[in-house]
């Protein structure tokens, strides 16, 4: 073997040994941390701490000087923490299935690979799984940059006693998958309605005559295309999982297409200094300016509102709306606590859904 190459590999071997020793040391300390938590009276057996994880990931990215990207460094650190936590308490995560959906990719991005992820058939099932303790946490889509809100998630959030413990943002890159080997051979395309909407220009240009059939999820589309022929629009992860050919990649109209997912659970993460708070409220009926008055304290205190969505209150005799509001900051911050007190007093209905770290990457 070339001497230079052999020398470089010897250096890599030596570093791998050090990295491995350090990872093992880290894992032992994580086990110690679990015992400390138990001694401090935490008998839940759940040692997951979203705020601490966000801080570790942010710090790893700040330290990064290349050549790996910040995201790659965060993903590596994510897997190390995931493996360490699984020694303490392996987490059960319910997500919107079947396997191969973008929600599964969000589970992996947020929790890493060392968790037991269970696909659920519908969004309400995920909420029930976490409420009943069948799962420790749930992952649900909440909004897409092109397709807008996921109304089932907002409707469940209005009713649940669960808390939002985190968020994940995932760039969505659609592929055309098939058992065929060329785009020209495709006569039928299966996909989720939102994915069709997100790939409209590409489909009009490349497959204007193909018949489109809407199904419940991208992963289901892949299963049908695998069985019946034709193609599915889905992510790269589904191609790998179901052994399909990728006939075209990045077929979405907007390259910045992103979906935001929420982590739901039973705990309130502590402040990290870079947090989001989500609340849901209804305004007093027949009161001119009621919504304006609810939003005014946020503006006065310079609180950055990042999102406001409305959904009709189900079953209400008179048309009534839930307003879902996200803003920067943590509910335990005294300034925010006082604004929330004011808003709670002025609203007809008010609930804090959770304060949680902003997605670290």
Positions touching ligand PRE (CB under 6 A) are 30, 33, 47-49, 52-53, 56, 81, 84-85, 88
Please check whether residue 76 is in contact with residue 19, taking contact to mean a CB–CB distance below 8 angstroms.
no
C-beta neighbour count of 308 within 10 angstroms: 12
Which phi and psi (to 5°) does residue 187 adopt?
-115, -25
Q: Which is nearer to ligand PRE, 35 or 285 (CB)?
A: 35
Strand order, beta sheet including 175-178? 211-214, 188-191, 231-234, 175-178, 245-248
Q: Which is nearer to ligand PRE, 50 or 97 (CB)?
A: 50
Q: Which is nearer to ligand PRE, 56 or 197 (CB)?
A: 56
Is 44 an active-site residue? no
Is 179 an active-site residue? no
Q: Give least dist CB 273 to ligand PRE, A.
A: 17
Catalytic residue among 101, 259, 277, 282: 259
Q: Which is nearer to ligand PRE, 53 or 180 (CB)?
A: 53
Q: Which is nearer to ligand PRE, 48 or 190 (CB)?
A: 48
Contacts of 261 (CB under 8 A, 6+ apart): 103, 106, 110, 139, 140, 141, 142, 167, 168, 169, 170
Q: Give least dist CB 141 to ligand PRE, A.
A: 23
Catalytic residue among 111, 127, 261, 298: 261
- Two tokens, residue 40: 């401090």
Q: Which of 246, 256, 245, 51 is nearest to 165 (CA)?
A: 51
Q: Which of 357, 353, 350, 359 is nearest to 164 (CA)?
A: 353
Q: Give least dist CB 194 to ligand PRE, A.
A: 32
Q: Give least dist CB 56 to ligand PRE, A.
A: 5
Q: Give least dist CB 34 to ligand PRE, A.
A: 6
By residue count, the chain amounts to 361
Q: Which is nearer to ligand PRE, 48 or 102 (CB)?
A: 48
Q: Give least dist CB 132 to ligand PRE, A.
A: 23
Q: Give least dist CB 36 to ligand PRE, A.
A: 9
> Half-sphere exposure of 155 toward its Cβ, with a 13 Å CA cutoff?
9
Q: Which is nearer to ligand PRE, 79 or 320 (CB)?
A: 79
Rounded to 10 degrees, the C-alpha dihedral 309/313/319/320 comes to: -60
Q: Tell me the catalytic residues.
A: 259, 261
């Amino acid at each position: 073997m070339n001497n230079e190459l052999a020398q470089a590999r010897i250096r890599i071997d030596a570093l791998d040994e050090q990295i491995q020793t350090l990872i093992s040391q880290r894992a032992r300390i994580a086990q110690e941390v679990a015992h400390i938590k138990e001694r401090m009276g935490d008998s839940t057996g759940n040692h997951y701490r979203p705020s601490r994880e966000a801080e570790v990931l942010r710090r790893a990215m700040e330290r990064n000087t290349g050549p790996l990207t910040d995201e790659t460094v965060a993903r590596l650190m994510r897997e190390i923490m995931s493996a360490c936590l699984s020694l303490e308490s392996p987490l059960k995560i319910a997500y919107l299935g079947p396997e191969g959906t973008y929600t599964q990719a969000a589970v992996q991005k947020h929790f890493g690979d060392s968790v037991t992820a269970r696909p659920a058939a519908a969004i309400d099932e995920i909420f029930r799984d976490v409420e009943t303790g069948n799962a420790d946490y749930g992952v649900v889509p909440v909004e897409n940059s092109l397709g807008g809100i996921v109304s089932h998630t907002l409707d469940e959030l209005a009713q649940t006693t669960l808390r939002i413990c985190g968020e994940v943002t995932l760039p969505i890159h659609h592929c055309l998958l098939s058992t065929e080997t060329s785009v020209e051979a495709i006569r039928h395309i299966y996909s989720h309605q939102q994915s069709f909407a997100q790939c409209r220009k590409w489909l009009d240009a490349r497959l204007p005559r193909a018949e489109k059939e809407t199904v419940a999820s991208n992963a289901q589309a892949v299963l049908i295309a695998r069985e019946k022929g034709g193609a599915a629009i889905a992510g790269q992860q589904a191609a790998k999982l179901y052994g399909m050919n990728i006939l075209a990649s990045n077929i979405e109209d907007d390259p910045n297409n992103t979906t935001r997912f929420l982590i739901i659970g039973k705990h309130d993460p502590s402040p990290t200094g870079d947090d989001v708070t989500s609340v849901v409220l209804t305004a007093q009926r027949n009161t001119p300016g009621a919504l304006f008055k609810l939003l005014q304290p946020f503006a006065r205190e310079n609180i950055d509102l990042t999102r406001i969505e409305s959904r009709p209150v189900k079953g209400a005799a008179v048309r009534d709306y839930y307003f879902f509001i996200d803003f920067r900051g943590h509910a335990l911050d005294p300034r925010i606590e006082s604004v929330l007190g004011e808003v709670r007093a002025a609203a007809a209905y008010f609930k804090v859904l959770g304060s949680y770290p902003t997605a670290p990457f």
